[in-house]
Structure 1
């Protein structure tokens, strides 16, 4: 049924679940997998931008150069962590007999996924959905919504916990720890 499965991954539990779901499907259908990780400014791990403009002379030039050096190091680390994650997941899939390749892109996550799906001629895209609603979805956008409306092929969305579910889980954990009797 599926011969080419594109999997959008990141280093979260939801990303790992999407990967495992896609791996199970690829094994079942003897399909190829392509992993994509997008270096996006909305990622929590994205390096902080530095917007200090150096003056023509003076102390700011040295400060600006130092900040740019620190930013370049942060960027290199951010990029390298993505590559290492992709290599690790590719090895896992290959060890299970699923032909797998990977790519890392920069920019808008939804567009990068749709462009690669089109160019690689995917039959299926597997990706996670964080469950953002309201203002969070408005300001942070919804990658899964973009892909749903712009992808040329089928899409399997793995649902993550919503912010409300996260809060309920935290509340229940707090209630349980409050119930544990203490030794007197």
Structure 2
């Protein structure tokens, strides 16, 4: 069974569900977890991509803008580490051995790289459920990982409220 599970976590609302499913599986199989967050300029909460002009008219403003961007990026990094530490503590309280890493780069490729270097048996990754044009423009991390990882991959799809919504009552005819 699985002994080393890499859990790819982003800043989406789906993060908690991916973490909880990974924690449940790790408990059931007595596996270790590697909580992995990839810092990306395209992620929710990121300060984005720095835009610097090579012909700045006001170098002082250009420098202050760059410093502000760097400060925001450092805050983004610190928030990622804090979230990973909190999830590591939750795992420890549940009796699961967990470690974490935060890397910077293209998320799909970095997830595969970390899984290889850590020798993971399984990668758990969330799906945003993108289809069509949005998948083409934004890409699909889970699709990339499924096709390029050297270990098994479990894709956690977003849950819908349909499971918690009661089925509509059917009318019955009485004669």
TM-score under structure 1 normalisation?
Answer: 0.82
Runs of 4+ with >3 A deviation: none
The residue matched to 1:52 in structure 2 has which SS? coil
Deviations 1:7-34 (A, max 9, x none): 0012333111111000000001111000
Return the alpha-carbon distance in structure 1 between the equivalents of residues 68 and 81 of structure 2.
20
Q: Which residue of 1 aligns with 2:15?
A: 15
Deviations 1:36-73 (A, max 9, x none): 00011221322132223354xxx611101110111011
Query: Is the Cα–Cα contact under 8 Å of residues 11 and 44 in structure 2 kept in the other structure?
Result: no
The residue matched to 2:58 in structure 1 has which SS? helix
Return the alpha-carbon distance in structure 2 between the equivalents of residues 44 and 103 of structure 1.
18
The alpha-carbon deviation at position 6 of structure 1 amounts to: 0.4
Query: Is the Cα–Cα contact under 8 Å of residues 128 and 144 in structure 1 kept in the other structure?
Result: yes
The answer on 1:91 being equivalent to 2:82 is no
TM-score under structure 2 normalisation?
Answer: 0.86
The residue matched to 2:120 in structure 1 has which SS? coil
Query: Is the Cα–Cα contact under 8 Å of residues 125 and 156 in structure 2 kept in the other structure?
Result: yes
Figure out how many residues of one structure are paired with residues of the other and give that number. Answer: 160
The alpha-carbon deviation at position 135 of structure 1 amounts to: 1.2
Runs of 5+ unmatched residues, structure 2? 162-175
Q: Which residue of 2 aligns with 1:172?
A: none
Deviations 1:130-180 (A, max 9, x none): 01111111111100000000011111111126xxx89xxxxxxxxxxxxxx
